[in-house]
């Protein structure tokens, strides 16, 4: 039960992306409003999840062939594996499939224990007796079929939606908005409420329906609410469409309601509800089955757990409403508090955003090959499609007006507009709810992510400058899904084998190991997020105080950093302090990541500070380049120094250390002079500093000559010589970059 709560937390951290990314990506509302709507959807959705609980109990295994001891080992192995696996994926912002993970974990652990049964018991000859192959095949078919349905549904529906509305939404919404909203809301209501009612706690509610009159007397009959909804599906759809279309049109006339925003809100609620009803089994299905097994076992008097077969898991079971509601509350709290959830959301939005933005993924040969083939296919299609149709489609899909508006407002441009967000939500809700109604535990991650990719493809969001990177990103994510299946199966298999031999000691040890994993992934996520947070703070400061002031502050802090770290590196070489050099290496790596982000986002930064761009744009680019080169030089100093100490090479000679320490003194004095000039902003000592720079460069030449003399007299070793030459070369680069930086400051301060 403890692992059930933890699994809910890590599971929602990964799957929150599935139902909030569209609302967040379109900036439909403040994040708190979006989370509140999603939270309400989750609380309602958990009451629709009862039908899915059977998947964990008897959907993949034949429980009547496993005894109580075996079934408990399987369930514990599954839960520990799931918690570790999902937490690691969350740490690196990878949206994986909780459905795939739980299914393959159940298979892996069950097959492991099943092998021992076949070895120990003659009545079992093959694993097919223990695994429910028919249902397993049914589940796999549904999951993988949903992948193709999702991407093509998103692509086709978004294509025709954009063709009808274009990117100039306000104009077309006046005439078609109410009809579009009526269709969207009708689809959501039918597939979520009507089609998904069968697996809910309300499915067996009895209602009285009028029957056929008999001998002039009106008869009545009692039927279930779910059956009534199915019988009246066409009437419900027609009435729902007419009512919603009328209400929305009336509201447009009276209050100018934003239909797309309303659809996004309702879609977010519906998708959160669909997620909770379909995916809750991934987190509490196994613990609930384990709890039921335990209750069933202790009801027997002094029965050996190795002889008590779990046939009871084949019987229908309704999860207590209290358990469902508590699970929903845990999911809601996680949704509001999880920082890792935000990391996973960002990965999906980066791959689907309309603008180019920062490209998180680097390219690979497969992505480049796919893109080249897509370009060739496009050339072929253009030959057969009439030019008039091509011109019409290009006009409908032109988003120049949107891009101009976003880039000149000074505000962050949404990843995509409300139309695409509403299509994402409606299509994904329908596919997931259909799976729930048929008790197929679809991967909500697969569905929502691929719908998102399909709609972005239809919207021409993948331009020539970004497509190959995004294809790489999709390949990376899909590869992660495939790896999830393999890792989940292998890990749960190994975990079950371990528990079979070690029993409670192994379970206790792995529980402690899980806590340790949690601690380290928390540290890693915090460190990775730290660099991005620092960049965000710098960007915010840049917008508040201006380009020049922000750059001025950054230059001064970088100069102080160079003084501190060069001194630390040389001290570490002098004393062979491994801890000091490692600390310095980590600090420099953090600053390297910061300057890398600055350089990668120059375009974004300048577009946000458009009022100052004309005067300060070139200056900002120059400063970022100089800072990047300075930090590069530090990196090229610390890395060989670290390797020298780490590999226990011979210490530098006394003369070599003295040369480097004297050079560092010159550099420190030079940096002090630069800092003073930048702070005073008068730049009267520039010529004197240039002369000082030349003196340092001359001294560097002197050190090089000294080192050559030592080599000729065999008074130094080869590793030491390489290290000294490398360090003085980077000092040379630092001094050159510093004076260039000063000149840039001087020129743009005039």
User: What pLDDT digit, counting tens, does each position of 493-518 carry?
Assistant: 999 999 999 988 999 999 999 889 88
Within a domain: 221: yes
> Beta partners for 719?
none
Q: What share of the chain is helix, strand, coil (3-state, %, to 5)?
A: 80, 0, 15
Shared-domain flag, residues 448 and 558: no
Claim to verify: residue 198 and residue 300 sit in the same structural domain: yes
Residues 330 and 408 in one domain: yes
User: Is 520 inside any structural domain?
Assistant: no
Euclidean distance between CA atoms 552 and 679, whole angstroms: 8
Q: Which of 443, 472, 502 is the last residue of a domain?
A: 502
| End residue of a domain, out of 502, 537, 567 | 502
Q: Is residue 671 part of a domain?
A: yes
Q: Which domain holds residue 600?
A: 546-748
Q: Both 495 and 591 in a single domain?
A: no
Of the candidates 478, 356, 475, which has an alpha carbon nearest to the alpha carbon of residue 415?
Answer: 356
Is the pLDDT assigned to residue 204 strictly greater than 60?
A: no
Q: Mean pLDDT in the chain?
A: 79
Is residue 302 one of the residues assigned to a domain?
yes
Q: Report yes or no on 6 lying in a domain.
A: yes
Within 438-577, residue ranges assigned H as helices are 444-458, 467-502, 504-545, 547-575
pLDDT tens figures, 225-271:
666 766 777 787 888 889 988 988 888 888 778 888 888 888 888 87
> How many angstroms separate the CA atoms of 550 and 524, rounded?
29
Same domain, 479 and 371: yes
Structural domain includes residue 337: yes
Please say if the pLDDT value at position 61 is more than 70.
yes
Measure the CA–CA gap between 278 and 46, rounded to whole angstroms. Answer: 9
Nearest to 639 by CA among 703, 565, 693, 706: 565
Mean pLDDT, range 485-489, rounded to an integer: 88
pLDDT tens, position by position, 670-718: 888 888 888 877 777 778 888 888 999 999 999 999 989 888 888 888 8
Mark which of 502, 521, 536 sits at the end of a domain. 502
If asked whether residues 556 and 464 sit together in one domain, one would say no
State whether 490 and 566 are in the same domain.
Answer: no
User: What percent of the chain stands above pLDDT 90?
Assistant: 10
pLDDT at 663: 92
Does residue 373 share a domain with residue 242?
yes
Residue 554 and residue 497 share a domain: no
What DSSP line would sit under 143-192, residue for residue?
A: HHHHHHHHHHHHHHHHHHHHHHH-S-HHHHHHHHHHHHHHHHHHHHIIII
Q: Any alpha helices (H) in 224-364, and if so which ranges? A: 225-231, 233-255, 259-280, 286-298, 321-337, 339-352
* pLDDT average, residue stretch 210-219: 55
Residue 406: pLDDT above 50?
no
The total number of structural domains in the chain stands at 2
pLDDT in tens, 364-390: 788 888 888 888 888 888 888 888 888
Same-domain check for residues 62 and 115:
yes
pTM of the model: 0.69
541 belongs to a structural domain: no
Indicate whether 426 and 552 sit together in one domain. Answer: no
* Residues 430 and 568 grouped into a single domain: no
């Amino acid at each position: 039960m403890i692992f059930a709560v933890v699994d809910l937390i890590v599971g929602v951290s990964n799957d929150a992306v599935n139902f909030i990314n569209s609302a967040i990506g379109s900036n439909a509302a403040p994040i708190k409003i979006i989370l509140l709507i999603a939270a309400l959807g989750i609380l309602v959705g958990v009451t629709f999840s009862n039908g899915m609980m059977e998947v964990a109990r008897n959907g993949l295994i034949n429980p009547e062939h496993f005894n109580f001891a075996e079934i408990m080992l399987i369930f514990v192995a599954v839960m520990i594996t799931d918690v570790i696996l999902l937490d690691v994926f969350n740490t690196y912002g990878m949206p994986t499939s909780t459905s795939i993970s739980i299914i393959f974990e159940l298979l892996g652990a069950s097959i492991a224990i099943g092998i021992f049964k076949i070895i120990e018991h003659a009545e079992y000859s093959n694993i097919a007796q223990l695994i429910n192959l028919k249902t397993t095949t049914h589940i796999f078919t549904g999951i993988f079929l949903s992948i193709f349905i999702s991407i093509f549904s998103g692509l086709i529906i978004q294509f025709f939606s954009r063709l009808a509305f274009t990117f100039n939404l306000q104009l077309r919404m006046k005439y078609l908005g109410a009809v579009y909203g009526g269709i969207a809301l009708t689809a959501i209501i039918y597939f979520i409420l009507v089609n998904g009612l069968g697996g809910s706690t309300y499915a067996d509610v009895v209602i009285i329906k009028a029957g056929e009159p008999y001998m002039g007397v009106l008869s009545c009959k009692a039927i279930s609410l779910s059956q009534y909804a199915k019988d009246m599906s066409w009437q419900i759809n027609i009435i729902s469409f007419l009512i919603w279309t009328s209400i929305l049109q009336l509201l447009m006339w009276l209050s100018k309601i934003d239909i797309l925003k309303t659809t996004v809100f309702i879609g977010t609620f519906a998708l959160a509800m669909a997620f909770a009803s379909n995916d809750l089994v991934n987190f509490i299905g196994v613990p609930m089955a384990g709890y039921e097994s335990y209750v069933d076992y202790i009801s027997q008097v002094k029965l050996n757990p190795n002889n008590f077969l779990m046939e009871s898991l084949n019987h229908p079971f309704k999860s207590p409403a209290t358990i469902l509601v508590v699970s929903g509350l845990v999911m809601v709290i996680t949704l509001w508090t999880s920082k890792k959830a935000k990391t996973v959301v960002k990965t999906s939005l980066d791959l689907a955003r309309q603008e180019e933005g920062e490209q998180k993924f680097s390219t690979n040969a497969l992505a480049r090959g796919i893109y080249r083939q897509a370009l060739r296919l496009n050339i072929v299609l253009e030959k057969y499609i009439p030019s008039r149709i091509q011109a019409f489609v290009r006009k409908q899909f032109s988003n120049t007006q949107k891009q101009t508006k976003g880039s000149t407002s000074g505000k962050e441009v949404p990843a995509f507009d409300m139309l695409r967000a509403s299509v994402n939500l409606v299509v994904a809700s329908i596919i997931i709810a259909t799976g729930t109604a048929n008790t197929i535990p679809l991967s909500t991650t697969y569905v929502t992510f691929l719908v998102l990719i399909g709609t972005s493809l239809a919207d021409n969001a993948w331009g020539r400058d970004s497509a190959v990177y995004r294809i790489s990103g999709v390949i990376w994510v899909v590869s992660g899904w495939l790896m999830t299946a393999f890792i989940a199966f292998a890990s749960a298999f190994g975990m079950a084998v371990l528990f079979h031999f070690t029993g409670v000691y192994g379970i206790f040890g792995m529980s402690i190991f899980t806590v340790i994993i949690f601690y380290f992934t928390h540290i890693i996520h915090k460190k990775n997020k730290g660099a991005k947070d620092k960049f965000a703070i710098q960007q915010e400061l840049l917008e508040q105080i201006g380009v020049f002031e922000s750059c001025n502050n950054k230059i001064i802090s970088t100069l102080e950093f160079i003084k501190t770290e060069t001194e630390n590196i040389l001290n570490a070489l002098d004393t062979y302090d491994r801890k000091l050099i490692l600390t310095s290496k980590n600090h420099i790596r953090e600053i390297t990541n910061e300057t890398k982000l600055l350089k990668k986002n120059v375009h974004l930064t300048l577009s946000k500070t458009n009022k100052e761009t004309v005067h300060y744009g070139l200056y900002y680019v120059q400063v970022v380049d100089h800072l990047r080169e300075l930090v590069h030089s530090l990196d090229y100093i610390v890395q060989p120094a670290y390797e020298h100490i780490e590999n226990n090479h011979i210490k530098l000679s006394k003369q070599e250390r003295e040369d480097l320490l004297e050079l560092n003194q010159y550099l420190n004095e030079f940096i002090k002079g630069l800092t003073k000039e930048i702070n005073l902003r008068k730049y009267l000592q520039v010529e004197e500093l240039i002369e000082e720079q030349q003196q340092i460069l001359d001294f560097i030449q002197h050190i090089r000559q000294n080192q050559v003399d030592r080599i000729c007299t065999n008074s130094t070793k080869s590793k030491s010589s390489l290290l000294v030459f490398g360090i003085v070369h980077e000092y040379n680069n630092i001094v050159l970059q510093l004076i260039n930086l000063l000149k840039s400051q001087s020129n743009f301060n005039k």
